[in-house]
Amino acid sequence: MIKPVKVTGLAVALVLTGFIAQAQQDEHAQSDELPKGWHLLDKAKDGYYGISVDKAYEFIKLKKLKGKTVVVAVIDSGVDTLHEDLKEVLWKNPKEIPGNGIDDDGNGYVDDVYGWNFIGNKDGRNLKQDSYEGARVYHLLKPKYDGKMINPATLKGDELEEYNMWVKAKARIEGHNGEPQLDLYMLKRLLKGAKQGDSILQVALKKGTYTGNDLDTMSTATEVDKAARANILYLFRANQRMDQTNKELIGDFDEFVAGEEKKAEAKDKVPPPYRAEVVGDNENDITDKYYGNNDVMASTPFHGTHVAGIIGAVRNNGKGMDGVADNVKIMMIRAVPDGDEHDKDIALAIRYAVDNGAKVINMSFGKDFSPQKKWVDEAVRYADSKGVLLVHAAGNDAKNVDTADNFPNPVYRGVKGKATNWITVGASGDPKAGGITASFSNYGKKEVDVFAPGVRIYSTIPGTTTYGNAQGTSMASPVVAGAAAFLLEYFPYLTPEQVKYCLEKSAQSPGEKVNKPGTDDEVNLSDISKTGGVINVYEAAKIAATLQPKTVVKKKAAKPVLQNKKG
């Protein structure tokens, strides 16, 4: 499973060695301060590597353009439908009468007012956690391939794809895939030490909740306090989360270790059928699609709420923060649990978004295996035929996705070709807070199209009037989705390919070397991404203004047929 393309992207795995060796961090290390909403700012005017949103709106005003409402679908964990900064921008199905228990619009989904929940049951139960896809693949195919003499040269097509997937899953689960294995014992020991240090600091500071910034200015009275401060402060700094709380930091560390424990157990234990026990559909039949419920909040709305706010939280209302786009409706489609999502749910979520009018789909999730990728590929082709752009987070493992799998992706399985209505986004930051590239971000000269701000992004979180920071390519992706929606608001005739062209062509090179994520190597941003730039909405709008409606070529692609094929 890809380490969080969700919530905060805690980089514990990347700093374990440093945590042990560098606990006595330099007392004069650079402060990690960034203003709230820094990702919207302009480098020349404000001094931060943002995306120049205000300049873009000034340009639109100068052109006297009026915006058209754009529907943006967010396939995610859920959304707080009561949040003060989101209530006005949530999509509401105009053909559905809320709460009457009738499928008024006849689309097969009863009372789908704000969208749909594909990981729930009609009886009201909702899936919260799920297993790792690699473990599911490993145990599903183990009886067929384990210990058998298989000659790959005799296989072809779907069977060869399946066998190769099994070999990869076996290597991953059994721990001989050539990648460094995390020492679970050491992880648990470090977590225990972090919790002990946290308890010491709560007493020393005389408060249960504190931030990394509080520790940065803290005076220590004893050697015990000094050691605890150094250890916890290192975790705050290494993860670029100085303004977040100890509760959040330790909580995410705890969650990360729990996830690693699940992976360790996967070799000997068949993953529990979490989804099957709740959802109740035939997961092997893509045509069995009328399942789930209309509860798009469920019990896990943090991630989706944060993502939705980045895209379109009400602008200039004096509350909390501003979204990138000023005239959007956010359609929430719940399909991402705490664990790896299922291909069927993602494929149907894409189709639901397209059929209900979305023009942009944000996908801040990912995994290492995709057993039914062809279902997702067909949904992507369907979106393309309807003029819908998909924006996907590159992932948070500091790996090269030119060579390492990260699903979903735009490369079609089993046939030649690659989706042209797709943008893959890496996470950028700012020199004032760790560097231009986020230390956790995946990268790839061929497969990562652009970078966008994804470090310490301030946005809506569940709680009606609550806001906070989170980071990850999960946050960078909605920055791009919001930018795409902005372009379509004011230039509604643009095709997905043209929107992508505008965003890529206008991406701004930082003009200096950047760190390759996960290393100290200095490279050009063009060495680790297709465009070598961070998106800039103002520059993209200027390019969009040069593209005329007559340049649009309407697609004649037929609606793909749903097939029950496994990839």
Kindly state whether residue 190 falls inside one of the protein's structural domains.
yes
What pLDDT, on a 0 to 100 scale, did the predictor assign at position 428? 98
Residue ranges of E strands in 130-215:
none
What would the pLDDT profile of 389-437 be if each residue is shown by its tens digit?
999 999 999 999 999 999 999 999 988 899 999 999 999 999 988 899 9
Number of Cβ within a 10 Å radius of residue 302: 21
**Are 316 and 441 in a shared domain?**
yes
Say if residue 145 is in the same domain as residue 192: no
In contact, 350 and 365? CB cutoff 8 Å = no
| DSSP H or E stretch at residue 391 | strand 389-393
414 domain-assigned = yes
Inside any domain, residue 566: no
If asked whether residues 302 and 418 sit together in one domain, one would say yes
Q: Which residues span the domain enclosing 220?
A: 184-262
pLDDT of residue 182: 61
Whether the predicted pLDDT of 276 surpasses 90: yes
**Whether 374 and 298 share a structural domain:** yes
Share of the chain above pLDDT 70, in %: 90
Helix (H) or strand (E) holding 199: helix 184-205
> What was the pLDDT predicted at 179?
53
What's the CA gap between 125 and 109, in Å, rounded? 16
CA angle 545, 474, 59 (to 5 degrees): 20
**What is the pTM assigned to this prediction?**
0.86
pLDDT at 240: 66
DSSP H helices in 239-271 = 246-265
Whether residue 327 is found in the same domain as residue 451: yes
Angle of helix 12-21 versus helix 184-205 axis, rounded to 10: 70
In a domain, 467, yes or no: yes
Tens digit of each residue's pLDDT (9 = 90 or more) over 199-256: 999 999 999 999 988 999 999 889 999 999 999 998 888 776 787 789 988 988 888 8
> One-letter amino acid identity for 293?
N
Domain with 345 in it: what CATH number?
Answer: 3.40.50.200
- The residue whose two tokens read 């697609």 is 555
Gap between the Cα atoms of 528 and 426, Å rounded: 9
